[in-house]
Amino acid sequence: MREYTKQFINGEWRDSASGEAIDVVNPATGEVFGKVARGNSEDVDKAVEAAHNVYVEFRNSSVEERRAMLDRIAKEYENRKDDLIEAITDELGSPIEKSEKIHYQMGLNHFAAARDALENFEFEEQRGDDLVVKEAMGVAGLITPWNFPTNQTSLKLSAAFAAGSPVVLKPSEETPFAAVILAEIFEAADVPKGVFNLVNGDGDGVGTPLSEHSKVRMMSFTGSGRTGSKIMQKASVDFKKVSLELGGKSPLIILNDADVDQAAYTAVQKVVNNSGQVCTAGTRTLIPESMKDEFLDKVKAQMDLIKVGNPRAEGVKMGPLISQKQYDTVQSYINKGVEEGANLYYGGPERPDGLDKGFFVKPTVFTDVDNQMDIAQEEIFGPVMSVITYKNLDEAIEIANETKYGLAGYVFGEDQETLKKVARSIEAGTVEINGAPGSPNLPFGGYKQSGIGREWGDFGIEEFLEVKSIKGYFA
Ligand code: NAD
């Protein structure tokens, strides 16, 4: 049983003011396997005060000091590799191999990318007799979701640290243990007292008072649009800056000259990775009518290879969903797809055979989907693919953009000019051509209701900075 009922405030582990704890459930068993502090506004006040007390000093620290700090963090992070992988596997239900290759690695990559971005980052620029200075804006409140416990936290933390911004982090109460290990990593890496503060708890108890706090200058949030909107409203009262990374319903467009094997493989991976609990999941698969049958045969063959089960068992490719609530949501969308008249081609409702506890679902494919159906418009956040056919390229682009979201898009094909045209036409913050891997230095964020602002690398650092003009500095 993991028990972390203390908060990390001003460089110390302190009892939470409430004296209460939240049960944390292992999604592969459905059983409680740990407890974490249930923070409240008193904890938030102390944490914000600690960050506020050091913000001028940290803002004025040298770039070299901050680079060295990010280096120490990366080393300590590597030292805790096994612990992080264990925690993520237990709290998220991620297959252990993916906990290492995806979750552990993404967190590490962000600390390295922020350190590297600092090498050439221009904090100051002379313009004639005048100086333009970029400086950390003050205390940042960070609120993160459960689907990537090290990625979501590390990308915000690395950028804030690189910028010189002290933080108060509230991770998801459903996956809090990786964040506790991060706090231990920062402690071991000699992150100055007050620069990093961790307040565990739920949205109402910790998220709301953090978003409202008058000494917090910026809120950086990743999670659902519903919560993002509440945070924005709270933050608007005293005009805090907000950076929001929200949901998606991303199109994956297969062009008529695409390698169908590669497209089918990637389309399936984009839907089953992390049990479909990925904001950039390519869940709307757009395929020319003439290629539908061949493509679906290959999708079926790929889906047959996705072994669902215990995250610690060998060969398992897909673990459970995070919670009973998420299980119920995904089931309701699968049932809705049938009611809406889509054709259930693969998978379907209920648990996979032989898995009678835990929040496991079947990877599911709907065909004959109309883009106006709810299963094509709403973010399901589970392994459910909607296959939509199109007649010509213009129609494909129109369908791709017919969504309130704009987080990501994918395109597969041969002809370079067509690929580039489609990539430029998709209204989304990231477009991937033929499965290109990208890097943590690229900006990440959404158009439309997928968010406000950009994270990762130098773009992420910019989010935590104010810009000041000093006239006559060189006169
Ligand atoms: P959520 O919005 O329910 O919770 C996210 C965080 O907000 C949690 O830490 C939660 O405790 C906190 N929270 C809840 N209510 C709050 C309130 N009133 N005030 C302040 N904080 C509050 O989201 P979730 O279910 O944890 O995550 C799933 C969602 O996150 C999906 O919609 C997904 O698309 C989105 N997401 C987006 C990205 C991205 O980068 N765009 C990445 C991952 C997840």
Compute the average pLDDT of residues 297-319.
97
Per DSSP, the residues of 138-193 read SEEEEE--SSSTTHHHHHHHHHHHHHT--EEEE--TTS-HHHHHHHHHHHHTTPPT
Predicted local confidence at residue 440, as pLDDT: 85
Going by pLDDT thresholds of 50, 70 and 90, the confidence category of residue 1 is confident
Residue 259 has pLDDT above 90, yes or no: yes
Cα separation, 461 vs 455, whole angstroms: 8
Provide the 10 A C-beta neighbour count for residue 181: 19
Provide the 10 A C-beta neighbour count for residue 331: 17
Residues designated catalytic: 245, 279
CB of residue 247 inside a 6 A radius of ligand 1: yes
Ligand 1 atom at minimum distance from 450 CA = 41
Predicted local confidence at residue 178, as pLDDT: 98
Model confidence pLDDT, tens digit, residues 394-419:
999 999 999 999 999 999 999 999 99
Compute the average pLDDT of residues 136-158.
98
Report the sign of the C-alpha dihedral through residues 318, 319, 323, 328, in that order.
Answer: positive
Residue 369 has pLDDT above 90, yes or no: yes
Residue 102 in tokens:
């995806």
CB of residue 378 inside a 6 A radius of ligand 1: no
Compute the average pLDDT of residues 456-465.
96
Expressed in angstroms and rounded, the spacing between residue 18 Cα and the centre of ligand 1 is: 23
Closest residue by Cα to atom 3, ligand 1, is 224
Predicted local confidence at residue 459, as pLDDT: 97
Residue among 175, 229, 275, 279 whose CB has most ligand 1 atoms within 8 A, to mutate = 279
The single-letter DSSP state of residue 290 is: G
The domains located in the chain, with CATH, are: 2-246+450-470 (3.40.605.10), 251-439 (3.40.309.10)
Residue 176 has pLDDT above 90, yes or no: yes
CB of residue 39 inside a 6 A radius of ligand 1: no
Compute the average pLDDT of residues 146-168.
98
Going by pLDDT thresholds of 50, 70 and 90, the confidence category of residue 38 is very high
Kindly report the average pLDDT of the chain as a whole number: 98
Going by pLDDT thresholds of 50, 70 and 90, the confidence category of residue 64 is very high
Residue 370 in tokens:
């109309």
Cα separation, 441 vs 113, whole angstroms: 6
The single-letter DSSP state of residue 207 is: I
Cα separation, 56 vs 168, whole angstroms: 16
Model confidence pLDDT, tens digit, residues 102-128:
999 999 999 999 999 999 999 999 999
Cα separation, 62 vs 56, whole angstroms: 12
Model confidence pLDDT, tens digit, residues 331-354:
999 999 999 999 999 999 999 999
Beta strands in 256-403 (DSSP E): 284-288, 343-346, 364-367, 384-390
Closest residue by Cα to atom 32, ligand 1, is 224
CA-only gyration radius of the chain, Å: 23
Predicted local confidence at residue 279, as pLDDT: 98
Report the sign of the C-alpha dihedral through residues 362, 368, 373, 378, in that order.
Answer: positive
- CB-count exposure of residue 60 (10 Å: 0-12, 13-18, 19+): exposed
Report the sign of the C-alpha dihedral through residues 108, 110, 115, 116, in that order.
Answer: positive
Residue among 40, 147, 169 whose CB has most ligand 1 atoms within 8 A, to mutate = 147
The single-letter DSSP state of residue 387 is: E
Compute the average pLDDT of residues 7-13.
98
Going by pLDDT thresholds of 50, 70 and 90, the confidence category of residue 452 is very high
CB of residue 207 inside a 6 A radius of ligand 1: yes
Ligand 1 atom at minimum distance from 211 CA = 20
Cα separation, 431 vs 437, whole angstroms: 11
Going by pLDDT thresholds of 50, 70 and 90, the confidence category of residue 243 is very high
